[in-house]
Amino acid sequence: MLVQCVRIPPRFGIVLAAGRIPRGGCMSPVRVAVLSDDGLLCEYFVRIAGAHASLQVVGQDRRAVLPPPLRAARPDVVLVDGRLEGALDLCKVLKNEAGPAVIFMAVRDDDDWARWALEAGARGILAKNARADHIVKAVRVVHEGQIWARRRVLEESLERLASASAARLASETILKLRLSSRQMEVLRQAAAGLSNKEVAFRLTIRPATVKAHLTKIFQKLGLRRRSELVAAYHGLIPPASNRISPRSPRRRA
At 181 the pLDDT is 87
| Average pLDDT estimate for 62-66 | 92
Task: Please state, for a pLDDT cut of 70, what percent of the chain lies above it.
Answer: 72
Q: Residue 163: pLDDT band by 50, 70, 90 thresholds?
A: low
Calpha distance 154→127 (Å, rounded): 15
Calpha distance 156→66 (Å, rounded): 30
Highest mean pLDDT, choosing among 25-39, 100-114, 155-169: 25-39
CATH architecture of the domain covering 179-253: Orthogonal Bundle (1.10)
Contact 83, 107 (CB under 8 A): yes
Give me the DSSP letters along 147-201. Answer: -B-BHHHHHHHHHHHHHHHHHHHHHHHHHHHHS-HHHHHHHHHHHTT--HHHHHH
Highest mean pLDDT, choosing among 72-81, 109-118, 173-182, 237-246: 72-81
At 222 the pLDDT is 85
Q: Residue 116: pLDDT band by 50, 70, 90 thresholds?
A: confident
At 98 the pLDDT is 87
Q: Give the distance between the most distant pair of CA atoms in the chain.
A: 77
Choose among 132, 148, 152: nearest CA to 52.
132
Task: Please state, for a pLDDT cut of 90, what percent of the chain lies above it.
Answer: 38
Residue spans per domain, the chain: 10-158, 179-253
Please give the CATH superfamily to which domain 10-158 belongs: Response regulator (3.40.50.2300)
Q: What is the pLDDT of residues 48-59, one digit of tens each?
A: 998 999 999 999
Q: Residue 167: pLDDT band by 50, 70, 90 thresholds?
A: low
Fold match between 10-158 and 179-253? Answer: no
User: 115-137 burial, b if ≥16 CB within 10 A, otherwise e?
Assistant: bebbbbbbbbbbbbebeeeebbb
At 37 the pLDDT is 93
Residue 33 has pLDDT above 70, yes or no: yes
| Average pLDDT estimate for 173-183 | 83
Q: What is the pLDDT of residues 186-232, one digit of tens each?
A: 988 888 778 899 999 989 999 999 999 999 999 888 888 887 887 77
For the entire predicted model, the pTM comes to 0.55
